[in-house]
Structure 1
Amino acid sequence: MNRKGFHSFFVFLFFLNITLLSSQNVQKEKQLLSSVISTLETRYNVSFSYADKTIKDKKAMLPNKSLSLEEALELLKEETKLDFELLDDRFIAIKFAKKKKANSFRIQNLEEVYITNFLTTGLTKLNDGSITIKPESFGILPGLIEPDVLQTIQALPGVLSTDETVSNINVRGGTHDQNLLLWDGIKMYQSGHFFGLISAFNPYITKTINVYKNGSSAKYGDGISSIIDMQLPDDIDNEFKAGVGLNFINADGFAKIPLSNKTELQISSRRSVTDLIETATYDQYFKRIFEDSDFNNNRNSISQNESFYFYDITAKLLFDITEKDKLRFNFLNINNMFDYDEQSTINDRTEALNSNLSQQNLSVGLSYTRDWTNQLSTTLQAYASNYNLDATNNDVINNQRLIQENRVNDRAFKLDINYEHNYQLKFNSGYQLNEVGISNLEDVNNPNFKSFVKNVVKSHSIYAETSLLSYGAQTKLNLGARLNYLDKFNMVFVEPRLSFSQRFLNDFRFEILGEYKSQFTSQVIDLQNDFLGIEKRRWILSNNNTEVIIEGNQTIYPVPVLKSKQISAGIHFNKNKFLISAETYIKKVDGITTRSQGFQNQYQFVHSIGSYKITGIDVLLNKQFDNVASTWISYSFSRNNYLFPDLNNGNEFPNNNDIRHAITFAGTYTQNNFKLALGINWNSGIPTTYPADQNNQSNIIINYQSPNAENLDDYLRTDFSATYSFDISRTSKATIGASVWNVLNRKNIINEYYTLIEDNIEPVRNESLGITPNVSFRVHF
């Protein structure tokens, strides 16, 4: 669909929604709340408990029959300003609402909820197409005993990781750098601990995670494949909370500490225990991460005395200056450290040199929110996010030392304006300024070589969006646009956004999502053994060059601004806790480079600019049995192809992330304080390229067959997890958890490539995690 068609379609939907809103508000009259309650008790077979004075003289409109009980209660809550608390499936308590904070109208309301307990408790699907995860009420998923943010989202259809890491999450065929990760509004450039096997974000200090695969709000820039928006608690409730935990990989603690009626401190810390004690979990993780690194691949020397640890520290200070003015300060430090000695015997003399790698994301932010009226609020935010990746690689045999550095300095200022006319009509607009500087250093001592490249790009963005919700929540429309300007290149990008949802026949909902996006940061791989082969990807900026530029000893390759466009349509049926969902989509991304795709075949050292196009469908069946059990099966089919005009004779060929078929079958069971989960994950193998006939090979290079013409064997993994909670005292609770990843210990090959060793072609195969147990113990105060 061209841009003109998009704009016409948006206008059509806008006026369609206005018509629906008008028609559905006709002939609605308020009546006494007591009468409404009586009708609802009969309709939903429930019972309300309340004091007469609580509902005295209260009036409300009778909710539409097509609404669920939760949606009907939320409408009554909005009209009466009373609290309707579901005590269980049948009894509902009506109470006076607590005194509202000045900005409480920004709070997400249940009228926007479409599916609660989506797959498991703590996951909610909203009618704007997004998924919300609440770690505090998270249930359980197979293989997970803790609500790991980036592992949890991989349970969603269309989201997976081709190499099982959280630093390589592929959303609808995209690469990981095409996901925008926000931590309380601050952009993150590092996502994993243990170099990708564990999420770097502590879930116990995170309140909400919003995930968008398409149709994201206009306030979000970047993230052409997805948005993962993590939010910490933002209200002062004068309630102390704390917890500590320990598992086979790390120990952590968090606390939510009221300092006064107007101030609160939220802190958390986590540190690995792997440098203190080695466990079965650590052994499997270590083998998986370092199996294809310089640590294991040097046949002429011995690697020993390895030392590895990671930690993260977070802090948030909340200060309510007045009832209308709020100040928030954020701090986050994520760190991974690894070093080892490489020992070799040269001329009967033993020599050893130290190699090391460090990875850090340090971020600070300050925000100020002003509630001008009960309907209008503004938020100012400024942040700095720094990412550092440093490696020193000593080669004893060749007497060579290689230093590599990758630095990202992101400075941003945001102004966000929210106006809520009522819960049916909302407006959001704002301005965002980003200045991003990225540098890359390579320094070799033998032969003497040094390269240092630094670029800076400044972007200005304005956005506006309207959100319309019909009475009864039958129709939901978010319509907006974002305008990005890159001053260095004098380029303007117009990015319309659409999210439209319509309920029909009571239990069906039709959904259409669409968006244009652009992105000027990306990650590339120059050599597979960069940064010791552990963190191969380095961040770079778009330079908008059209040809290769050579300056002294530096070669500067063209890196375009990434541009994407996507549209999807879905139909969902939800009745009696049974969900059938089908969503089809098409996405096109332009401006990718071969260096950003991680080729390990004939295109490994070729630089070319191209695109990829993916079409697919995600299907989900989910049945919940009261609050006891949930079972689901999901299937994803997609066709993901590259088009590089300079490669493969200008013909399309499969994307490195082209997984045609993926199936997940899983179930959870909850009984009192006991939770159990079991799941099976299957997908077709990723594409690979085989060498041509050995007899035709030269002694210098490997000749390959057609790129990505074959596939690895299918991937199959079975996971299990269980937790049990019990009270320690009146104010404290403990949870014991156990999980087994890859219960059947299946040897899955997740990557395969070929290398020349002494004129012989040898395959290199990377295996997935083997059977990996983990045990945890947590205490909440």
Structure 2
Amino acid sequence: MLGTHYNKHLGLALVFLFFMFCNINAQEKQRTSIDLVSYLKLLETRYDIKFSYIDKDLDGLTIVVPENLNAIEEIIQYIEGTFRIEAEKLNGRYYTLSKNSRVNICGIVLDNFADNTVTGATVEVLGTDVAKITDNNGSFSLENVPRNASLQIRYLGYVTKYVKIETLLQQRGCPKILLAQYYEQLDEVFVYKYLTSGIIKEKDASITLNTAKFGILPGLIEPDILQTVQALPGIKSIDETVSDINVRGGTNDQNLILWNGIKMYQSGHFFGLISAFNPYQTDKVTVYKNGTPTNFGDGVSSVIQMETGNSIPESFKGGGGFNLISGDVYAEIPVSNKLGVQFSARRSATDFLSTPTYKQFINRAFQDSEITLQNNSTVNDEFIRDEDFFFYDFSGKILYDLNDDHKIRLSAIHIKNNLKFEETNVSADQTNISLLKQDNISVGGQLQSNWTNRFSTNLNIYYSKYNLDAQNVFANQVQQLFQNNQVTENALKLNSNYVLTDELSWSNGYQYIETGIINATKINQPNFISEIKGVIRTHAPYSQVNYNSSGNKFIGKIGARVNLIENLNTFQKVLIEPRINLNFKLANYIRAEVLGEFKSQTTNQVIDLEQNFLGIEKRRWILSNDKSLPVTKSKQGSVGINYEKNNFYVGVEGFYKKVDGISTSTQGFQNPYQFSGEIGSYDVKGIELLINKKGDNYSTWLSYAYNKNDYTFDSIVPQSFPNNLDIRHTVTFASTYTYKDLKLSIGLNYRTGKPFTEPVDGDEGLDDDFVPPRINFQSPNNSRLPDYFRADASAIYNFQLSRNIRANAGLSILNFTDRKNTLNKYYRVNENDEIETIENFSLGITPNVSFRVSF
């Protein structure tokens, strides 16, 4: 009984304490959050003052009591800033409070599902004609709008949201406004997120890469831009480099590579094995394989557009890291609310540190070849090799906002490769020395203007200079060869966009490009000097209509570009290039796309002395002259179908592309036609398939590409034969898995071998009627290399070093099966008048590790 009585008293005590706590807590809330009118009365009593105001202006407003404020002037200033109320002191005791009928407001529109900014949302002040479009950061600002009005915020694919301006005024700064996605109404997907995080297929069939959100891919521990795009169907490098990216059977010089709107004539480090663009400063990469917008000219194969961050950072951000090849740093610095600075710098450690990765890269570039004679005996000459090699790149950007509607962006980039390579044939007591210096310096500026809520312009001006100096010293300095290739380009582009309705917009613009190229060659034995200069100017007006139907059932872009091309004292040409990009709904979860384009380009790369070890980096830019090298023109059409439901995606696309005005000197021939300069064309028929299944912590995909790529040269027998880049079948199978802070990825790559040309069998393979003797070749590209297979893996672990410093460590292994893939095979006549067979091989097993910090 005593225990029962005790428990009853204990229970009553606990109940009493609970109610006491609730009462104290309620009193505390009442003291800290109070009706504004009641708080003003407390102030009147405490400070012996009087407030005069209209009751309806303050009805419903509550205030969090500023405990750290004691002076009445500070408290009144706090009330003014919190409620956008104007306070006026009439004398020592009396104050008036009044609401401003018109106010300035700002906000940031976000996707409340992915917490991403919503760019291009319409923000309208109801009951007025005031409206604005959110910028690249999802931000907007409105001036002198009615305080009692409401905002209507709309964006396709999201629920329309209504917000009272009065509600926004009660929040400090620029409040965040969250939009809910409206899946039920649309019953479809507009963009497809596949492979790994940060890769999206947009509704216009372009592919965007967000490097900040990049996940992991097999063999990559850092988001190398030009390595990452090779994970996409239809984009590969036949020789494992980023300097030779082949898009739907095209050569690398047929890709238009842009950095902040500047055309880049150099894209790789370390003979193309590493991208020359720092991914940690690059914010977004967009890839077009077909259906290119009319504001892009040049590049008959593809467009790869890289953009750095375009908004002034709110706080300092930066980081750095290293791997077994190089180290880098980057930073984003807010100087003021109108001025910001970005920069990145990277340098190799290859000239003072030899790592396993560096050794494999060097073997790939210089040593990993096998030379056999016609009788299949191996050349066993002993070689001593020594190299001194380094590279660096630096990029920077200044961001200045004149105001909310006019913004200036200034960009600069410097890329450099420097090599000295010495090779001594011990058996022949002969030393060859090769020197290579490669530089690219580019600067550009942009003025981005919103003239009204419907009309905007973008002015882009740039200057770019690329320079390649190569020197080869043969046979103990008996023969010396000097080569120089210099490209200078000035360009101006003005683009405008006018929003006619919510569904219809009209883009127009004009582009002027002046490109000058110098090619110089000097040989001492025999004495030979050549210098070829040329300048081409292109004037290109363009126009495009963009239409999005209600609910996005139909999305279309139709336009044309007119190129007036003039090569001084040589030719003038007018080319009209229509473009079409259609996307429409077939059924729930199924959309189709129809793409087509005409394109042209006036710059190409000549590939001479391909057997020289400098390889891809030895290619030299030249201009079209409408004689030995005409303007290259392409026509392409494609049809695709995309299905996505429950994170399961299937996309298939068939295409046909024809490219005219190519030369054998630009295609990498290693047979009699290498130097003949025959003019012809190639056409590609192909199918690309991607199947991707994603889960919360994994992604698995299978991609397949079929290409039938054939040359046509009227003056070659036979006239039609397989293209040097005719890879009939390409298959990729890969998977990524994330467990907490650990990311894992593994992938398999398979493709059929590339074509090559063999000599005639037996003694007839060598023609002794010429001095020196020449090789008699069989029909062009009559043979194929063995099939290519490579397996890659990578892992990244993320962790916190401190509260504000994040870090990650990565490990990758390229070709972990150590398969010996033949990348190229060609023939030459040696000093003993024998036919030599030279084979170049892929990277062997290549490990790499990285460590990075960011803050």
Q: Equivalents in 2 of 1:394, 1:593: separation in Å?
A: 29
Q: How far, CA to CA, are the matches of 1:184 and 1:133 in structure 2?
A: 15
Q: Which one-letter code corresponds to 1:767 in the other structure?
A: F
Q: Contact between 1:404 and 1:531, CA under 8 Å: does it hold in 2?
A: no
Counterpart CA distance in 2 for 1:204 and 1:368 is 24
Superimposed CA distance per residue, residues 299-332 of structure 1 (whole angstroms, 9 cap, x where no aligned partner):
9896544200000000000111122221111110
User: How far apart, in 2, do the equivalents of 1:526 and 1:286 lie?
Assistant: 22
Residue 820 of structure 2 is matched in structure 1 by 747
Match 1:572 to one of 628, 638, 642: 642
Q: CA deviation at 1:455?
A: 0.4
Counterpart among 656, 664, 679 of residue 732 in structure 2: 664
- The answer to whether structure 1 residue 460 and structure 2 residue 539 are counterparts is yes
Shift of 1:421: 3.6
Q: Which residue of 2 aligns with 1:309?
A: 390
Residue in structure 2 matched with residue 726 of structure 1 by the alignment? 799
Q: Does 1:759 align with 2:833?
A: yes
Residue 425 of structure 1 is aligned with which of 504, 514, 523? 504
AA paired with 1:400?
A: Q
Q: Deviations over 1:165-217 (max 9, x none)?
A: 00100000000000000000000000101010001000000111000000010
Do 1:194 and 1:310's aligned partners in 2 also have CA atoms closer than 8 Å? yes
**Identical-pair percentage:** 48
Distance 1:395 1:57, change over 3 A: closer
Shift of residue 471, structure 1, vs aligned partner: 1.8
Hey, what does 1:15 align to over in structure 2?
A: none
In structure 2, the residue corresponding to 1:289 is in which secondary structure? helix
Q: Does 1:378 align with 2:457?
A: yes
Q: Give, in whole Å, the separation in 2 of the partners of 1:305 and 1:147.
A: 31
Question: What does residue 444 of structure 1 align with?
Answer: 523
Which has the larger displacement, 421-430 or 370-379? 421-430
Q: Which amino acid aligns with 1:334?
A: I
Distance 1:513 1:112 in 2: 21
Counterpart residue number, 2:597: 515
* 1:393 CA displacement: 1.1
1:640 aligns with 2:709: yes
Q: CA 1:81–1:400 in 2, change beyond 3 Å: closer, same or farther?
A: farther
TM-aligned CA deviation for residue 354 of structure 1: 5.1
- SS of residue paired to 1:535: helix
Mark the CA change 1:346 to 1:713 in structure 2 (over 3 Å): closer, same or farther. closer
**What are the within-5 Å matches in structure 2 for residues 400-549 of structure 1?**
400-488=479-567, 489-529=571-611, 532-533=614-615, 535-545=617-627
Q: How many residues align?
A: 683
Counterpart for residue 681 of structure 2: 611
Aligned amino acid, residue 759 of structure 1: D
| Cα distance in 1, alignment partners of residues 597 and 339 from structure 2 | 39
Residue 759 of structure 1 deviates from its aligned partner by 2.6
For 1:345 and 1:513, the matched residues in 2 are separated by 58
Distance change (3 Å), C-alpha of 1:666 and 1:346: closer
Q: Distance in 2 between matches of 1:247 and 1:135?
A: 18
Cα gap change, 1:166/1:532 in structure 2, threshold over 3 Å: closer, same or farther?
A: closer
- The residue aligned with 1:621 is 691
Work out the CA distance in 1 between the residues paired with 2:624 and 2:422. Answer: 37
Residue 588 (1) aligns with residue 669 (2): no
What residue in structure 2 maps to residue 333 of structure 1?
A: 414
CA distance in 2, matches of 1:759, 1:352: 21
Tell me the amino acid that sits aligned with residue 540 of structure 1. I
Question: How far apart, in 2, do the equivalents of 1:540 and 1:175 lie?
Answer: 15
Residues 1:721 and 1:287: Cα distance change in structure 2 (over 3 Å): same
- 1:499 CA drift (Å): 0.6
User: Which of 238, 253, 269 pairs up with 1:162?
Assistant: 238
Pair 1:140–1:533, CA change in 2 (3 A) = closer
Alpha-carbon shift at residue 537 of structure 1 (Å): 1.1
CA distance in structure 2 between the partners assigned to 1:693 and 1:449 by the alignment:
36
Secondary structure at the aligned position of 1:659 is classed as coil
- Cα deviation, residue 527, structure 1: 2.1
Query: CA offsets, 1:310-362, max 9 Å, x none?
Result: 00000000111122221111110001110134557999xx9978531011111
| Aligned mate of 1:135, from 183, 194, 211 | 211
Q: Quick check: 1:211 aligned with 2:287? A: yes
**Alpha-carbon offset, residue 57 of structure 1:** 6.9
Matched, 1:320 2:401: yes
Q: In the alignment, residue 505 of structure 2 is paired with which amino acid?
A: K
**Distance of 2:456 and 2:278 partners within structure 1:** 29
2:851 corresponding residue in structure 1 = 777
Once the 2 structures are TM-superposed, how far is the Cα of residue 596 of structure 1 from its aligned partner? 0.4
- Return the match for 1:233 from 309, 331, 349: 309
Unaligned runs of 5+ in 1: 1-29, 33-54, 64-70, 83-94, 102-109, 546-557
Aligned to 1:678: 746
Query: 1:160, 1:169 within 8 Å by CA — same for their partners in 2?
Result: yes
Q: Please state whether the residue corresponding to 2:753 is helix, strand or coil.
A: coil
* Partner Cα distance (1:121, 1:569) in 2: 26
Distance 2:796 2:209 in 1: 19
| CA distance in structure 1 between the aligned counterparts of 2:231 and 2:691, rounded to whole angstroms | 13
- State how 1:693-732 maps to structure 2 within 5 Å: 693-698=761-766, 699=768, 700-732=773-805
1:362 touches 1:386 (CA, 8 Å); kept in 2? yes
Normalised by the size of structure 1, how large is the TM-score? 0.83
Q: Partner of 2:774: helix, strand, or coil?
A: coil
- Are the equivalent residues in 1 in contact too, given 2:683–2:709 (CA < 8 A)? yes
* Counterpart contact for 1:293–1:534, Cα < 8 Å: no
Q: In structure 1, what is the equivalent of residue 324 of structure 2?
A: 248
For the residues of structure 1 that align with 2:298 and 2:227, how far apart are their CA atoms?
22
Pair 761,430 (structure 1): closer, same or farther in 2 beyond 3 Å = same
Q: In structure 1, what residue type is equivalent to 2:835? A: I
Say if 2:381 and 2:427, in contact at 8 Å, map to a contact too. Answer: no
Question: Contact conserved, 1:357 with 1:392, CA < 8 A, in 2?
Answer: yes
Q: Hey, what's the Cα distance between the residues in 2 that align with 1:422 and 1:113?
A: 23
Partner of 2:443: 364
Q: How far is 1:116 from its partner? A: 4.2
Answer yes or no: is the 8 Å Cα contact 2:313–2:332 preserved in 1. no
Native 8 Å contact 1:343 1:396 kept in 2: no
C-alpha separation between the residues in 1 aligned to 2:187 and 2:541? 28
Larger RCO, structure (CA 8 Å, separation 6 or more): 1
Cross-structure match for 1:271 = 347
Please say if 1:282 is aligned against 2:358: yes
Q: Paired residue for 1:692, among 755, 760, 763?
A: 760
TM-aligned CA distance change 1:271 to 1:111, over 3 Å: farther
What are the superposed Cα offsets for residues 615-667 of structure 1, whole Å, 9 maximum, x if unpaired?
A: 01001110111x311101011111000000000243x1000000000000011
- Secondary structure of 1:154's partner? helix
1:201 paired residue among 268, 277, 299: 277
Paired letter, 1:394: V
Provide the rounded CA distance (Å) in 2 between the counterparts of 1:300 and 1:455.
43
Between the aligned partners of 1:368 and 1:658, the Cα distance in structure 2 is 43
